[in-house]
Amino acid sequence: MNDKADFTQGSITKKLIGFMLPILAALILQSMYSAIDLLIVGRFGTQEGISGVSTGASILQLFTFATVGLTTGVTVVIGQYLGTGTPKKIGKLLGNSIMFFIALSAILSIILITLARPIAIIMQAPKEALDSTVLYIRICGAGMVFVVFYNFISCIFRGLGNSRLPLLFVGIACAANIIGDLVFVAVLKLNVSGAALATIMSQAISVIIAFFVIRKQDLQFRIEKKDIAWGNEIGHFFKIGAPLALQEILTNVTFLAICAFVNRLGLEASSGYGVSQRIVGFVMLIPASIIQSMSSFVAQNVGAGNESRAKKAMKTGMIMGALIGIPVALGTFFCGDILASVFTEDPQYISRAAEFLKGFAPEAIITSILFSFYGYFNGHSRSTFVMIQGIIQSFLIRLPFSYIMSIQENASLTFIGMAAPLATMVGITICVIYYIVINKKMKRKMI
């Protein structure tokens, strides 16, 4: 490994920031996909289109995040192979992974295309926006192979300690998406279908360019033809990634359920909530970049047997995330209406979006603490615990609290928004207890 990609030595803060910043930039650009779709549909499309893109994008996120969970397993195994000084094993790992993700993309496409309407109905999409939601889901479902392989390619380079190339790929995709949205929605007036086409087209362009770039890289391993098969490396990364994927699915099911709760409150609340979710996506970028960075950083040090450095990295991530999160939380709480006005000119939608953001704002601070724990545990291949505590906080805290708040007379989106930080605090408590327990076990083994 070159010095920048070697996380087992040197300044933790410097290397963590250097690795995290490109990931953060990539996540910012990636978040602009649905945000730009919503922005341009809001300006040049219909009001039903706003709800259709919002609900459809939320459904698509469920499948995308599940894919990200699985690819995290690949990232962790790559980091561990680098830490143990056995990079040649990576070739077989990636060859096996290619076969797995081809099959996965086909299955996801079939599900989204054939079950788009039932899914939209379960989501209680407003009647006025039902057809738009179904159309968005089907078009994006047809292009899931590009969504899956974009995330797979990015996970490879993050595992290798290179976060700059994924930034390049998503930058290309974002530029293509903006052009596509302007052509399909603003010029050709295709509304929701135009937004979906632009999203998938941009992902396809990114993946094609990524494959050409990969061929030019001087990597530490080779993928042989015999490696592209159903081999034992699938079980290796699947054991780590599957619990994370299941957690993402179940966690996002709760968010979809919350979206359904809000949809029952009418088109005004649905569209306002949809706008707020675009802002929430940006608020969560720092925590998301921390967990992706931490998983790779810790995995290398675990492979190298450097546990003390892994712990210091986790604590560094917590401090960095919380310090950045404070001004973000204040801005979200006090300036939610200004942020919402970027996506829509409707004063009622702006008001309802700001209403939700007031309750959600503390999440900008505390999620970085929780996600630093996640990255630490993932790097130790303890993803099953991450899944279990995620299910607990989602199904025992976030979902019941949101439902109870949504059925109140004159239900306030602020109280529904509070469900997220409340659940996160419970998750942090569980993680602290587990961290203490496993470290006591590690000390006993050393004695």
Per-residue confidence in pLDDT tens, the chain, 447 aa: 566 778 888 999 999 999 898 888 888 887 776 677 777 887 787 777 877 887 888 788 878 888 988 998 999 899 888 888 888 888 889 899 999 999 999 999 999 999 999 988 887 777 778 888 899 999 999 999 998 998 898 888 888 888 888 888 888 888 898 899 899 988 888 888 888 899 899 989 989 998 888 877 777 778 788 888 888 889 889 998 899 888 888 877 787 788 889 988 888 898 899 889 879 988 998 998 998 899 889 999 998 889 999 999 999 999 999 999 999 999 999 999 999 998 788 899 999 999 999 999 999 999 999 999 999 999 998 999 999 999 999 999 999 999 999 999 888 999 999 999 999 999 999 999 999 999 888 777 765
- Asked whether the beta carbons of 295 and 72 are under 8 A apart, the reply is yes
- Global pTM reads 0.80
pLDDT of residue 154: 86
- Asked whether the beta carbons of 123 and 59 are under 8 A apart, the reply is yes
Interaxial angle between packed helices 12-44 and 267-283, expressed in degrees from 0 to 180 and rounded to the nearest 10:
150
CB neighbourhood size of 447 (10 A): 4
Closest by CA position to 304, among listed 86, 95, 137:
86
pLDDT of residue 1: 56
pLDDT of residue 386: 92
φ/ψ of 209, rounded to 5, equals -65, -40
Q: 38: part of which helix (H) or strand (E)?
A: helix 12-44
pLDDT of residue 33: 66
Four-point Cα dihedral 6, 10, 13, 16, nearest 10: 0
- The residue segments making up the domain with residue 205 are 3-446
pLDDT of residue 126: 75
What is d(CA 234, CA 216) in angstroms, rounded to the nearest whole number? Answer: 26
Output the six-digit token pair for 440. Answer: 């006591």
- Asked whether the beta carbons of 259 and 123 are under 8 A apart, the reply is yes
pLDDT of residue 88: 81
- Asked whether the beta carbons of 206 and 175 are under 8 A apart, the reply is no
- Asked whether the beta carbons of 402 and 422 are under 8 A apart, the reply is no
pLDDT of residue 447: 56
- Asked whether the beta carbons of 257 and 90 are under 8 A apart, the reply is no
Output the six-digit token pair for 221. Answer: 């391993």
CB neighbourhood size of 305 (10 A): 11
- Asked whether the beta carbons of 191 and 177 are under 8 A apart, the reply is no
What is the count of structural domains for the chain? 1
Q: List, as one string, the DSSP characters of 52-87.
A: HHHHHHHHHHHHHHHHHHHHHHHHHHHHHHHHTT-T
Closest by CA position to 148, among listed 203, 91, 92:
203
What is d(CA 291, CA 16) in angstroms, rounded to the nearest whole number? Answer: 11
What is d(CA 410, CA 392) in angstroms, rounded to the nearest whole number? Answer: 29
Measure Cα distances from 82 to 86, 291, 327 in Å: 6, 19, 37
